[in-house]
Amino acid sequence: MLKMILLLSAGAAPAPAQPASAPPDQIHLAWTRDASTTMTVVWRTLDESVPSAVEFRRRGGTRWRRATGGLRPSGTEGRLHEVLLSGLEPATRYEYRVAGPGGSWSDVHAFLTAPRLGQPFEAVFVADTGLDGRLDGLSTGTREVVEEVAKLDPTVILWGGDGAYYNTDKRFGTLDRTIDFWFNMVMPFAAKAALMPTYGNHEIFLNEGYLFWADRFPTPDGLDNRRYYSFDVGDVHFVSILAADSERGELPATVIRWIDADLARAESRQEVAGSLSACRAVFRRLQSPIQPGLPQAIGASF
């Protein structure tokens, strides 16, 4: 049975400039292919000579396997690396480490691959974090939320957007540096489970911009430069819908057709058709401001 946990929180002073020898940071995971047999790893290094390489092994193993990838274009300083790990076993815990400056490696992190059909998994929904340390006090619970999600150790984390609230928090100057801070802030959970985004109104309308964020997040291709995409975890088919795509609140007809076709393809898959008819999971991010207290409603059904 899918256990769904909904968390919402509202959102540290700017970090000093780091030298090129600084260790890898902004480590986060994603699924761009089969969630049970692959994992995509993204991280940043300020040293531009660092190779895009990851070492990984089954937890408890002694021999590292190595995978290489390339650079992911983005506005961050230094280089953003992306490596696809493949040939993994379903429902299996893997350890990994990413390349750093001078031939070094990051600390060892771990993730769990998605299960086979019919097996349970846990998902956590997180949104409206803001950045830790806001001067107006609206993000006093952000660190606690990050720590609690990391403790839950879910298989997948569904991020509902409105991460930085850049229009009211300019402590880091540029939007790219603000996003840098956000990825480091969430690294305690983002380095442990696939982080799959659905962007909010702040990323789209409020002095930010879709591509600033999307360049940092690998996802399946989907539609309209990945504004809409889908993926499977076990028996569940997830569809990420950018509800903030129109200020009128209406999704374009092309998007509606894509959603219908995507769900039809998923339901036509013989091995999961029975499950999907019962637990079609369409995630739609509804906007809400940073505020303490109970989570806001989201349009999700199981």
Establish if 282 belongs to a structural domain. no
Determine, yes or no, domain membership for 156. Answer: yes
Domain containing 9: what range? 1-221
Q: Looking at residue 10, what is its pLDDT?
A: 34
Q: Is residue 155 in some structural domain?
A: yes
**What pLDDT was estimated at residue 297?**
33
Is there a contact between 81 and 45 (Cβ–Cβ < 8 Å)?
Answer: yes
- Is 297 inside a domain boundary? no
Q: Is 233 exposed, middle or buried (0-12, 13-18, 19+ CB in 10 A)?
A: buried
pLDDT of residue 273: 44
> Consecutive 10-residue runs of the chain (302 residues): their mean pLDDT?
36 58 96 98 97 97 96 94 98 98 97 94 94 92 95 95 93 96 98 96 84 95 94 94 73 91 84 42 37 36 28
Is 85 part of a structural domain of the chain? Answer: yes
What contacts 220, CB < 8 A, 6 or more positions away? 31, 32, 33, 226, 229, 230, 231
Q: What is the pLDDT of residue 124?
A: 95
Query: Has this prediction a pTM greater than 0.95?
Result: no
Residue 162 lies inside a defined structural domain of this protein? yes
Q: How many domains does the chain have?
A: 1
Instruction: List the CATH number of the domain containing 58.
Output: 2.60.40.380
- Cα separation, 108 vs 188, whole angstroms: 12
Residue 260 domain-assigned? Answer: no
Q: What integer pLDDT is reported at residue 298 of this predicted model? A: 32
Q: What is the pLDDT of residue 247?
A: 59
pLDDT at 100: 98
Q: Give the per-residue pLDDT at 19.
A: 78
Q: What is residue 287's predicted lDDT score, i.e. its pLDDT?
A: 33
CA distance 109 to 73: 24
- Compute the distance between CA of residue 140 and CA of residue 11 in angstroms, rounded to an integer: 6
- Does some domain include residue 145? yes
Q: Residue 286's pLDDT is what?
A: 32
Torsion (CA) 129, 134, 138, 141 in degrees, nearest 10: 60
Q: Which residues contact 287 (CB under 8 A, 6 or more apart)?
A: 162, 200, 201, 243, 244
